[in-house]
Structure 1
């Protein structure tokens, strides 16, 4: 169920919104409206579900919606990762009562019963021992391991709960040996590249090596192609990932604070502080961050969020996250448009009260930095000093605009590029508004076109100051070396 008339008033905000595609949202008109209000920047494809053809059709829907709205958005392909789940259960579920015994049997191929339940993850008996605690169904069912006998794990049920087929398993404190990438993920990676994804999310990352493996597979698949490689996003949802956080961030293009599985492994109370730490470190190490899981959960069935959900989204924005993400809310929920619109409203309100982000404040130390970095830092400092209305980056790849976005600044950052793939990649960067322009033109022509474009959009008025970064030789890729303070004539 959706409202018959949608409010398409544009909402300006810097924090980007990622919406998961599904039966509730995979139609062109709905996505076009989400994009038009300034709410939808990135669409997540959940590769836990669907066939290659299903994902190809959805990619066409997303690109058509973006074309109609006149704005490029990014596609994030989210790989499933290892299935650490119980198997099928006869009748779909069993009622478990506190104090009962439950056997998890990795050798069981048929449907599970009260006597024993099978496992999709066959190595679980090797990863647990007596005394370990297992959490099933996102922590709603707690089992204590009594003993391990070959393929059988004998457990005690700690709380009454209905266990359904295929529910997930986590081990308290982490330590499950399953690798981040499976054979299914490698097949899905090929599909994701074929449909032109802009980002690839790797689930259950434990170390930088998982990212190196994924990047090598991308290169293998795209060998000989001149196309831009998808950025890699590490989903931080394991204890081991927290222990190896910096190396994972540095091996990634961005991270996702995946609070669902992470909360089950480390405990719900630990997650808020970890969220702040992860977002801060991502900004300090010049990577982007996405905050995810249950942000607007009640809007699966309700047209308005709870006050707790409003606070959750606002606090992620105030933490400095680049993007906030919804999952079931837009994939299968009754109010996908309203969910995205509410997230945009919350982000705009939080940003209006935000004095500064926990970002990078030009603390480079004694080591020399790249010209790109220095130009970005200078642009931010000068923009503050002269009260500029916007920062404009003429960029081929989007790297200068990204560096500007790492700083604590609320000014709009307009990134003008001739590259469609760069536009889509920049859809993830906080505060960056990517637009199309041919940077191969001479400098004066480019400045005039920029002014005309921003005047037309109402960003600038006559007499306004704006900062522009560019290359002195406009045709050279990756050569940003010029910073100008310009006045709109």
Structure 2
């Protein structure tokens, strides 16, 4: 596999059959996303079991990401399923309304809305396609005037321009879903709508407690989709293992025009802080119904790759689209072409940079050496995957093979850019481990006689964080 950028694919009705799922994995899926906004607990458990089974059949290890729903900030249901709102008409959002909605107003799933808004605020419904201006708040009723009308149907989302909705990131449903995610041993848990580091710290505590019975600790991804998260992005990153640039809700809150620059900033920050980053939302949207992407979508995916994202994510394209396998194939091809055009600036990356840890220094030394010697591969013998993560934060056109005896580490590394994780038997003899590592890559056709490669490991072996050796070898 010559592609460095990873692909996250959402499972759904279009991708739940064993045949389609296997074809998707063979086409290049590295991480599957289980969307907990839809389906029951058993549905997710069954899909996770299917993923593990199919991935094994395909000869690849695929990570599983459980994506929590978060707070339901939505309108209620309409008597006829939808209404057509006209510019200038009044419309009431009523937190106490129990009857179905009509052209004059609708109930709310989010009962706190009347306390979160004031006259003059702008509310954006259905991903910003409908715009309402708040004119008055009377008890539990939010009176508005339609600024931009259109069709409004059941359960469409509500955002407040500029942010400010007080809904907690973790709901009672999320807490139950975390228990389900731990029972199926999800490798990543994505937290929706976090406003600050405290939200992520609470999610981690809940995951660790729920995972105790299964001896499982997942990595946490913060989905950046609230405007309040932007000023405290540094703290959220520190409290997380990675972030998702969730461009849908984020664009509604901060405005479409602000998102591209924010995306670049978030990817850069994540890489500098040794965190992973996923770029998501509408990346190949047209392929829900069309067999090829638009030119704009090709550029969008390519630009995320050139920015250095670890992964690009597909949502409805693979969950409900007509061409899930073809979408994966197209995305993989775009990523490979973009990577060919990347500039490698390792020397500049290391200028004036100090490393306080031996294992991190070894990882950086391996990158520098492999780049300047023209090594065919970098091999990291790793327990936790930290060495491979540090290496993956820098662009280098040398593939990184992370060999680990820990299944969880292998699966987590499936998301790391330019890292190919391989499960190996646990070994304590350093020399035997080094021989086995070379043999693994020769058997896979990665290395041939005469090729040079850099290899890192720790001595004594088997201790997380113990990488202290770098060796450059030539295949005999």
TM interval, shorter chain, is over 0.9
| Pair 1:336 & 2:363 matched | no
Q: Which of residues 85, 88, 113 is equivalent to 2:102? A: 113
Alignment RMSD, CA only?
A: 1.5
Q: Which of residues 389, 398, 410 is equivalent to 2:397? A: 410
Deviation for aligned residue 1:228: 3.6
Deviation for aligned residue 1:416: 0.5
Matches of 2:80 and 2:462, distance apart in 1:
65
TM-score, normalised to structure 1, is 0.95
2:467 partner SS: coil
Q: 2:10–2:32: 8 Å Cα contact kept in structure 1?
A: yes
Tell me what 1:400 maps to: 387
Q: 1:439–1:474: 8 Å Cα contact kept in structure 2?
A: no
Once the two structures are overlaid, the 10-residue window that deviates more, 195-204 or 434-443, is 434-443
Q: 1:359–1:407: 8 Å Cα contact kept in structure 2?
A: no
Tell me what 1:482 maps to: 469
Matched residue count: 476
Tell me what 1:72 maps to: 61
Unpaired runs of at least 5, structure 2: none
Q: 2:346–2:396: 8 Å Cα contact kept in structure 1?
A: no
Tell me what 1:30 maps to: 20
Deviation for aligned residue 1:224: 5.7
Matches of 1:284 and 1:318, distance apart in 2:
15
Tell me what 2:364 maps to: 377
Matches of 1:102 and 1:364, distance apart in 2:
59
Tell me what 1:206 maps to: 195
* CA spacing shift, 1:357–1:340, aligned 2, 3 Å: farther
Q: Which of residues 339, 342, 345 is equivalent to 1:354? A: 342
Tell me what 2:449 maps to: 462
1:61-106 CA deviation, whole Å, 9 max, x = no partner?
A: 1011111011111000000000000001111001111110000001
Q: 1:319–1:357: 8 Å Cα contact kept in structure 2?
A: no
| Pair 1:287 & 2:287 matched | no
Matches of 1:164 and 1:132, distance apart in 2:
22
Tell me what 2:313 maps to: 325
| Pair 1:126 & 2:115 matched | yes
Matches of 2:345 and 2:49, distance apart in 1:
36
Tell me what 1:54 maps to: 43
Tell me what 2:295 maps to: 307
Tell me what 2:80 maps to: 91
2:379 partner SS: strand
1:291 partner SS: strand
Matches of 2:25 and 2:359, distance apart in 1:
30
Q: 2:179–2:211: 8 Å Cα contact kept in structure 1?
A: no
Report runs of 4+ in structure 1 exceeding 4 Å deviation.
Answer: 357-360, 363-366
Q: Which of residues 356, 360, 376 is equivalent to 1:389? A: 376
Unpaired runs of at least 5, structure 1: 1-10
Deviation for aligned residue 1:406: 0.8
Matches of 2:273 and 2:348, distance apart in 1:
9
TM-score, normalised to structure 2, is 0.97
Once the two structures are overlaid, the 10-residue window that deviates more, 156-165 or 324-333, is 156-165
Tell me what 2:11 maps to: 21
Deviation for aligned residue 1:384: 1.5
